[in-house]
Amino acid sequence: MVTIQIAKAGIALALVLGLSSASLAETIAGAMAKAYANNPDLNAARASLRAVDEGVPIAKSGYRPRISANATGTAVRFDSNSIAKPLDYTNRSAGITITQQVFDGFQTLNSVRVAEASAFAERESMRANEISTLLSAAEAFANVARDQDVVAIRKQNLSFLRQQVDAAGSRQRLGEGTLTDVNQAQAQAAEAKALLAAAIAQLRQSEATYLQIVGSPASGIKQAKPAERNLPRTLDLAVATGIKEHPAIAAALHRVDAADYRVKQAEGTMLPGVTLQGSISRSLTDQPGEVPNSSNAAVTARIEIPIYQGGAEYGQIRQAKERAGQQAILVDSIRAEVRQTIMQAYAQLDGARATISATRERIAAATRALSGVIEERKVGQRTTIDVLDAQQSVLAARETLAAAQRNAVVASYSLLAATGRLTVTGQGLPVAEYDAERHYNAVKNKAFGTGTGTDSAR
């Protein structure tokens, strides 16, 4: 009875430990979510977007009046031989001036449109930055998992080779082997030790990169499976999706809009401008002989018609047109780049999948061959070097599999990134998505206040 209770307790403890380790295990989705929330470069890009958003209310200020107030005070002491005593008096005045631009050749209108298009372009650029960060997190995760596998493989290899050194020494003492066999096994074990040290160093580097991107140490990582959610099934579908959805292309199109509006803004400098100005002032004085107080009000309308500004206006229009043409060309360049990236990622994913399938067959065959060579050595048909060579074949195949599994994961997420679908929503990541539009809506018509509203997008 006691034995049964101990067994049950052991099983319960094993279950608890298993659940604990599972809860500590990190997933690739979790790593991407942490990077999305914590990556400083991404947070800097969001701050940059908020700054660009402020360009819209700045541009809209051209619609609003300019109001200024002024006040002056003068104390006078007049001393002359013609008067019995010095004369002291003061002059004071205060006024308000309001200036309203009525028409400026549509420059303000187009300035607002430039600011809006620039904000939309920056928003898409931030989305592209988010995708790049998520891809970097996925790649860092896959690299750590691969390097962990390589370290484990090389530890097993070193243990196996140390056993071979002991076995070779035993056979030599029994007269069944030679000193050469022992030396060969020792050489292979020493090389395996060096390879293990290199693998550990590589793992430390990958962990450092992971910490920098994700914001937390790598812990409980196991190699993930290639992405499947929202992954295009054909190359043609992937290309079509990327051309339609990739934020870099959307950002480039918004920049074309901004450049076109800058052309119209430059052309507006050649159109007439109409300005209204109203002012009111009040003056007070105690100077003898002067009216003690007076008020003054005036309204002024001014029409300014530009005729010639030295040719600068024409140069600015031509310059804006050339830059608009440049932005249009860049759209084609970015589309071609997206298409190339998609085709490369798709080919890499296919290649990695084929390598995984072939390498698994290779491992099975190499493992069987190693077992056969060991048995043949026992009966004198094989030598120690044959066993060592067979073990190296198994080692190489297992490391190739670890690399291929990593490549498949990275290629799948690269394909998602190239199509614009590696997003919080697209992958269902456990993190709140940054709402850029919320901040934009909060500030686009803001005419007063100095608060930045940094958290308004959260």
Residues sharing a CB contact under 8 Å with residue 317, sequence separation 6 or more, in sequence order = 263, 266, 267, 270
pLDDT of residue 454: 59
At residue 166 the predicted structure's pLDDT band, cuts being 50, 70 and 90, is: confident
Domain boundaries along the sequence of the chain? 29-64+106-270+315-427, 65-103+272-305
β-bridge mates for residue 435, sequence order = none
On whether the 29-64+106-270+315-427 domain is CATH 3.40.50.970, my answer is no
At residue 171 the predicted structure's pLDDT band, cuts being 50, 70 and 90, is: confident
pLDDT of residue 206: 96
DSSP count for the chain of H helices, then E strands: 12, 4
Q: Which residue has the higher pLDDT, 292 or 403?
A: 403
pLDDT digits (tens, 9 = 90+) for 337-373: 999 999 999 999 999 999 999 999 999 999 999 899 8
Tokens of 248: 């870099």
Sheet with strand 87-103: strands edge to edge: 66-78, 87-103, 273-285, 293-304
Q: Which of 36, 27, 453 is nearest to 213 (CA)?
A: 36
Tokens of 229: 């959610």
> What dotted CATH number matches 65-103+272-305?
2.20.200
pLDDT of residue 362: 93
pLDDT at 175 over 80: no
Query: What would the mean pLDDT of 398-402 be, rounded to a whole number?
Result: 94
Q: Which of 230, 357, 274, 250 is nearest to 107 (CA)?
A: 274
Residues sharing a CB contact under 8 Å with residue 211, sequence separation 6 or more, in sequence order = 217, 218
CA gap 197, 211 in Å, rounded: 21
Residue type, 77: R
CA gap 148, 311 in Å, rounded: 67
Q: CA torsion sign, 403 to 405 to 411 to 414?
A: negative
At residue 85 the predicted structure's pLDDT band, cuts being 50, 70 and 90, is: low
pLDDT at 168 over 80: no
Phi-psi region of 283 (alpha: psi -120 to 50; beta: other; left: phi over 0): beta
CA gap 110, 59 in Å, rounded: 9
pLDDT at 217 over 60: yes
Among the ranges given (124-133, 181-190, 343-352), the one the predictor scored with the smallest mean pLDDT:
181-190
**Are the C-beta atoms of 271 and 305 separated by less than 8 Å?**
no
Alpha helices in 379-434 (DSSP H): 384-418, 424-427
Among the ranges given (96-100, 188-192, 411-415), the one the predictor scored with the smallest mean pLDDT:
188-192
Average pLDDT score, the chain: 88
pLDDT of residue 377: 77
3-state secondary structure of 143: helix
CA gap 246, 251 in Å, rounded: 9
pLDDT of residue 256: 97
How far from chain centre, in Å, is Cα 58? 27
Return phi, psi of residue 61, to 5°. Answer: -60, -20
Domains 29-64+106-270+315-427 and 65-103+272-305 share a fold: no
At residue 257 the predicted structure's pLDDT band, cuts being 50, 70 and 90, is: very high
Q: Which of 331, 349, 418, 334 is nearest to 131 (CA)?
A: 418
Helix orientation angle between 384-418 and 235-245, rounded to the nearest 10 degrees: 40
Query: What would the mean pLDDT of 181-192 be, rounded to a whole number?
Result: 84
pLDDT at 212 over 80: yes
Buried b (16+ CB within 10 A) or exposed e, 250-280: bbbbbbbbbbbbbbbbbbbbbeebebeebbe
pLDDT of residue 380: 74
Tokens of 315: 């140069």
Q: For 27-84, give the DSSP string.
A: -HHHHHHHHHHH-HHHHHHHHHHHHHHTHHHHHHGGGS-EEEEEEEEEEEEE--TTSS
pLDDT of residue 83: 59
Tokens of 429: 């990541």
To the nearest whole percent, how much of the chain has pLDDT over 90?
71
pLDDT at 392 over 70: yes
pLDDT at 10 over 70: no
Tokens of 223: 């190699």
At residue 6 the predicted structure's pLDDT band, cuts being 50, 70 and 90, is: very low
CA gap 287, 124 in Å, rounded: 66
CA gap 294, 281 in Å, rounded: 8
Query: What would the mean pLDDT of 206-226 be, rounded to a whole number?
Result: 94
3-state secondary structure of 276: strand
CA gap 313, 307 in Å, rounded: 10
At residue 2 the predicted structure's pLDDT band, cuts being 50, 70 and 90, is: very low
- What predicted TM-score, i.e. pTM, was given to this entire model? 0.85
Which 8-state DSSP code applies to residue 374?
A: H
CA gap 118, 255 in Å, rounded: 6
Among the ranges given (56-65, 389-398, 432-441), the one the predictor scored with the smallest mean pLDDT:
389-398
pLDDT digits (tens, 9 = 90+) for 265-319: 999 999 999 999 999 999 988 777 777 788 999 999 999 999 998 999 999 999 9
Tokens of 433: 């998505």
Q: Of the spans 82-91, 121-130, 370-379, which averages the highest pLDDT?
A: 121-130
Q: Which of 22, 308, 260, 258 is nearest to 122 (CA)?
A: 258
pLDDT digits (tens, 9 = 90+) for 429-442: 999 999 999 999 99
